[in-house]
Amino acid sequence: MILLPRGNPVKENIDPGKVDLAGALGKMRQGKFTGYLRFDFPDGTGVFIYQEGRLISALYQSERENLIAYDGIARTFAESLAGSGVLNIYRLSTDLAYSIHALLHGEMLHKGQDLQLIDIKSLLVRMREDKSNGCLRIYSPEHIALIFYRNGNPLGFFHDGSTEIETTADSSMSVAREPGAKVDVLVTRGNIETSLADLMETADVAGLWDNALTERRRQREERESTTSRTLEMKESERRQKALALFQRSAQAHLGKLGVSLVEKEFEKMKLNGGQLNEALLSGFYGNLSKAAKLVAGPSKIELMLDEMKKGFKGLSK
């Protein structure tokens, strides 16, 4: 689960499978959007970060995978088209957008430091003195809090359960006091503004989207084909059972000539994998009855057909 500040909601609870994502990303670019798109899927989360219309970061994270840039975009597209996803779009300040990038992609300066063994106040002072850009992630077994920094100054505080960026450190710092609390320090070095490339410039997003659509269509066709094959197999099995039932009945009433008549009339229906229904069988019974008149009387034929009809109804249940 990726914890991110919500910022200013632009769109919430959209089904990304019903959106032309390549087109939507294009519009973000044209609109000089700053903020991020968050895709929540049953098995993972995708995050696209925009800074003034530049797609500066893309990530897809799940328990097993951590895909970035083009791979992250492609995977997010694929998961979106698979359905069961939710897309939320939030506007952020430019600084916060960079901080989120740092949170997701930054260098891990300290990882899992026990807050009882570290002087958090000194750490914050050092962040300010070093004019660090990045994020402090403070977490206990129960809670998590984020403090975003820009040039050593805190931009905002965010913790799970809050809906907005907070300007005071109270709630976030309370996590630090919880037993077993730890801290990760993530920073970005150098001039981050110039180092981040616009993924939409370097990647063929429309191509990635088309590939995802093609793959999705292929999967759907394959699934439909499998379903159709399964249905065909079931229908074929039903046909075989019906034929065997009719043959048994004909054998009992008309002997082996009756069996041959059943086979011939069954063949004449030209099912070709189609469904065996009452309308088709009505013709079958009629033809069989006509042919059977050459070797048996109406009462015997009627008895045989009744047996067949009852048997077939039993098969259909």
Partner 1 sequence: MEFQSVLALFWLIAGGVSFYFSIGNARVWTSIAVGFFLILLGEIIPGAMPFLPGLDNAYVLAMGHIIGTISILVMSHGFQEYYVFTRTLDFEGSKRFVYLSVLGVIAASLVFLLINPTPTEEVRKVIRIVENTNWVFLSLINIDLIRKIYLNVKDTPISNGFIAFMVVFACIFLWKGSQLYIDVFNLEMIKDTFPLRYEISFWCKNIGNVLASITVGGTFLYLGKLLR
Q: Which of 74, 291, 305, 308 binds partner 1 (CB under 8 A)?
A: 291
**Window of 84-92, 96-104, 158-166, 285-293 that interacts with partner 1 by CB under 8 A:** 285-293
Is residue 297 close enough to count as binding partner 1 by CB under 8 A? yes
For partner 1, the closer CB: 242 or 291: 291
DSSP letters for the chain = -------EEEEEEE-GGGS-HHHHHHHHHHTT--EEEEEEETTEEEEEEEETTEEEEEEEEESS-EEEHHHHHHHHHHHHHHS--EEEEEE--HHHHHHHHHHHHSEEEEEEEETTTS-HHHHHHHHHHTT-EEEEEEE-SS-EEEEEEETTEEEEEEETT--S-BSSSHHHHHHHTSTT-EEEEEEE-S-HHHH---HHHHS-HHHHHHHHHHHHHHHHHHHHHHHHHHHHHHHHHHHHHHHHHHHHHHHHHHHHHHHHHHHHHHHHT--TT----HHHHHHHHHHHHHHHTTTS-HHHHHHHHHHHHHHHHHHH-
For partner 1, the closer CB: 73 or 304: 304
Is residue 199 close enough to count as binding partner 1 by CB under 8 A? no
**Window of 4-12, 84-92, 222-230, 297-305 that interacts with partner 1 by CB under 8 A:** 297-305
Number of residues that bind partner 1 (CB under 8 A): 19
Is residue 300 close enough to count as binding partner 1 by CB under 8 A? yes
CB of 315 to partner 1, least distance (A): 25
CB of 271 to partner 1, least distance (A): 19
Is residue 294 close enough to count as binding partner 1 by CB under 8 A? yes
Mark 225-264 with x for binding to partner 1 (rule: CB under 8 A) and - for no binding: ----------------------------xxxxxx-xx--x
Q: Which of 103, 296, 305, 308 binds partner 1 (CB under 8 A)?
A: 296
**Window of 10-18, 77-85, 115-123, 292-300 that interacts with partner 1 by CB under 8 A:** 292-300
For partner 1, the closer CB: 217 or 268: 268
**Residues in the site for partner 1, rule: CB under 8 A?**
253-258, 260-261, 264, 290-291, 293-300
